[in-house]
Amino acid sequence: MQQKLTPQQLLLMQLLQLPVTSLEQRIKEEVEKNPILEIESSTDTDGDDWNDDGEPENNNEENETTDDFLGIDVDEFFGDDDYSYRERLEKDRNDEQRTFDFSGNTSFSESLIDQLTMAGLDERQRTIATEIIGSIDASGYLGRDLQVIANDMAFRSGIDVDDSEMEQMLKVVQSLDPAGVGARNLQECLSLQLHRTTSDSTTHDIATAIVDHYFAQLSNKRYDSIMAALKIDKTTLNDALDIIRHLNPKPGWGGSDENHGSHYIIPDFIVSREGSNLSFSLNDRNYPQLHISRQYNDMMHQLAGRKSLTHDERETIQFIRSKSESAQWLIDTLQQRQQTLTTTMAAILGYQHDYFLSGSLADLRPMRLKDISALTGYDESTVSRVANQKYVQTEFGTFLLKELFSKAVSTDDGDLIAMQHVKEALRTIVDNEDKSTPLTDEALTKLLQQQGFPLSRRTVTKYRESLGIPVGRLRRQLDH
């Protein structure tokens, strides 16, 4: 005896793990493959809202979006000396990133190409510069080697360009706004910005020299070596570092390039709060509602009513019956998916009620798949598929639903707390440490143990790394 899943169960498993954006695409593909399926003409249907108990309510919420954090590693960009700045960039879901504003609906690459008209280039030079711009990524960096770009031009357009001409045109591109665009690495990006600024300040000249000639020492926090080489004191060095910190490591932020796709998160669940009452809605407004074609249904009834059928007519009936069955499977499975998502999210909302009210990690309860499985009656694998790749939008941010599932840590008092709470305590300790003498992992372990968290140094190291916090020697700052 073997237990096998039915085709509809397999389809449900597939649809459950799809986020709302992928689900929309999947439905469109099914409509294209199955002529029996039709999209309802009305697009005004709103999703139902659900309270903590899974009861429907009416609530019209506007979808919000959050910027997805993409781009270069900012570890090298003085993150450790301005640690709170780096943490805001990486961890604050609601913090706005630095942007360069473009007018209208002009994309980042279009803005750069438009600027070429003022550069006095001939047709050949403009073609090369445009090709270089096409290889600039969303962060503003040149994503490919110049030789590779030249080879592509020779292969596709028959234009032979030597290294010196490529370098010359890259300099033209790097002269465009925003400053730092077209850089091949972080050092070049910062250098371009510093050289673009006209200043008679000695401190500015020192900052430029540090980036141009002592970037390796800068990245490894070898300040004594920099001070000795430039014959400056700590105060002067700190003033120069402050100039560098205010440069933009991502000059391309804010440009919406069609070649790089959307940088928005579409939430699958939207949680709202009124006093101490919580409710949520499924974000099902982005995918179409389906029904079976009336035209094919009528054709089926007409053929079925005949006493004798030709071979072609019998095949037509068989085709319609098969496609109708597949269409109904999809419609029923989508309804079952919605019910499964609703039941599971209602259980999560009730389990983490305090956290959704406050947004504080201190209120986040340890929650495992089997906890929600026990509340809903669904298998753990089903709960896992519901949480997979799904985003939940709240008043305090938009985040992956699976982030709410965490292992429990037992305190000295025998209480169970979520791992995120321990990580938040670790982050607080690091934020408040003396940056001139940052704490080692062993010292961090002792402080956490004093707060009632019986963790090993190895576990603390793992948590520190998962938070993106560098080792102590890289967190060191100079005293003013």
Summarize pLDDT for 450-471 with one digit per residue, the tens.
888 788 888 888 888 877 788 8
pLDDT of residue 299: 75
pLDDT of residue 478: 66
Distance CA(446)–CA(464), nearest Å, equals 14
The verdict on whether omega for the bond into residue 35 sits within 30 degrees of 0, i.e. cis, is no
Where is average pLDDT lowest: 137-146, 183-192, 262-271?
262-271
Cα distances (angstroms) measured from residue 470 to each of 70, 78, 86: 20, 12, 11
Work out the average pLDDT over 351-376: 86
Under 8 Å between Cβ of 128 and 159:
yes
Q: Provide the token pair at 51.
A: 């309270």
Q: Is the pLDDT of residue 72 over 80?
A: no
Angle at 158 between CA 156 and CA 163, to 5 degrees: 100
pLDDT of residue 254: 45
Q: Report the chain's terminal Cα–Cα distance, integer Å.
A: 76
Superfamily of domain 408-474 in CATH is Homeodomain-like (1.10.10.60)
E strand or H helix that includes residue 37:
strand 37-39
pLDDT of residue 16: 82
3-class DSSP state of 257:
coil
Q: 85 pLDDT band (50/70/90 cuts)?
A: very low
Work out the average pLDDT over 143-155: 83
Percent of the chain, pLDDT > 90?
11
pLDDT of residue 349: 93
pLDDT of residue 123: 87
Under 8 Å between Cβ of 329 and 8:
yes
Work out the average pLDDT over 162-175: 90
Angle at 385 between CA 382 and CA 389, to 5 degrees: 160
Under 8 Å between Cβ of 75 and 470:
yes
Distance CA(274)–CA(230), nearest Å, equals 60
Where is average pLDDT lowest: 46-55, 66-75, 284-293, 382-391?
66-75
Under 8 Å between Cβ of 413 and 452:
yes
* Residue ranges covered by each domain of the chain: 7-61+265-403, 98-245, 408-474
Question: Which is more confidently placed, 413 or 227?
Answer: 227
Transcribe 63-126 into DSSP letters: ----B---SS-TTTTTTTTTHHHHHHHHH-TTPPPP----STT--HHHHHHHHGGGTT--HHHH
Query: What's CA 105's distance to the chain center, in Å?
Result: 22
pLDDT of residue 213: 92
Percent of the chain, pLDDT > 70?
75
Under 8 Å between Cβ of 149 and 129:
no
The secondary structure of residue 198, as a DSSP letter, is: -
pLDDT of residue 305: 67
Work out the average pLDDT over 97-108: 46
Q: Provide the token pair at 65.
A: 């979006």
* pLDDT tens profile 105-116: 456 777 888 888
Looking at the chain, the number of H-run helices and the number of E-run strands are 20, 10
Contacts (Cβ under 8 Å, ≥6 apart) of 240 = 203, 204, 206, 207, 210, 232
* pLDDT tens profile 116-134: 877 778 888 888 988 888 8
- pTM recorded for the entire structure: 0.47
Q: Is the pLDDT of residue 63 over 70?
A: no
Provide the edge-to-edge strand list for the sheet that holds 49-51: 56-57, 49-51, 277-282, 269-274, 391-394, 397-400
pLDDT of residue 54: 46
Q: Is the pLDDT of residue 277 over 80?
A: yes
Under 8 Å between Cβ of 417 and 454:
no
Q: 157 pLDDT band (50/70/90 cuts)?
A: confident
Q: Provide the token pair at 388.
A: 């997979």
pLDDT of residue 319: 83
Q: How many CB atoms lie within 10 A of CB 466?
A: 11
Q: What are phi and psi of 63, to 5 degrees?
A: -70, 135
* pLDDT tens profile 405-415: 866 565 555 55
Work out the average pLDDT over 264-276: 83
Q: Which spans in 134-233 are helix H?
A: 146-157, 163-174, 186-196, 202-213, 215-219, 223-230
Q: Is the pLDDT of residue 37 over 70?
A: yes
Q: Please choose, from the candidates 28, 54, 5, the residue with its C-alpha nearest in 3D space to the C-alpha of residue 339.
A: 54
